[in-house]
């Protein structure tokens, strides 16, 4: 079992950048693009409890903004367990984190994110 307490600083910059891109897209009304970047942030941060939880928090806020009961419900459930799973190293690698996917389903990681993640493997 691998315990991840803190995201590496370099990886955190990529995580934060995806969240910034999501916020910018949301601000300009580009909802699909905002969600795309939230999913990418989730993939980058899912191995780290604080970032994993924060990605789900931002997804919850998105769900509230678009008035999606399914997304809000799904994110509330994920907020209860996502950070714990990261802490004990039990995550479905590549999972995009939305309520539209099984929370335990591993998924293919986009190539550019694979390269980023490989740079920060311990």
Q: pLDDT tens for residues 66-121?
A: 999 999 999 999 998 776 677 666 788 899 999 999 888 899 999 999 999 999 98
CB atoms within 10 A of CB 108: 8
Prediction pTM value: 0.92
Mean pLDDT of the chain: 92
The gap between the terminal CA atoms of the chain, to the nearest Å, is 13
- Which residues contact residue 58 at a Cβ distance below 8 angstroms, ignoring those fewer than 6 apart? 19, 22, 38, 41
- Asked if pLDDT for residue 5 goes beyond 90, the answer is no
pLDDT in tens, 6-49: 999 999 999 999 999 999 999 999 999 999 999 999 999 999 98
What CA–CA distance (Å, rounded) separates 86 from 53? 9
pLDDT at site 121:
81
The Cβ-side half-sphere exposure at 75, using a 13 Å CA radius, reads 24
């Amino acid at each position: 079992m691998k315990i991840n307490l803190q995201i590496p600083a370099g990886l955190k910059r990529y995580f934060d950048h995806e969240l910034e891109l999501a916020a910018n897209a949301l601000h300009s009304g580009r909802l699909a693009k905002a969600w795309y970047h939230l999913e990418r942030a989730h993939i980058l941060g899912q191995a780290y409890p604080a970032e994993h939880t924060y990605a789900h928090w931002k997804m919850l806020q998105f769900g509230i903004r678009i008035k999606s009961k399914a997304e809000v419900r799904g994110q509330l459930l994920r907020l209860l367990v996502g950070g714990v799973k990261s802490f004990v190293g039990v995550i479905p690698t590549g999972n995009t984190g939305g309520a539209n996917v099984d929370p335990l389903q591993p998924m293919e990681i986009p190539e550019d994110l694979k390269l980023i993640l490989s740079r920060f493997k311990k």
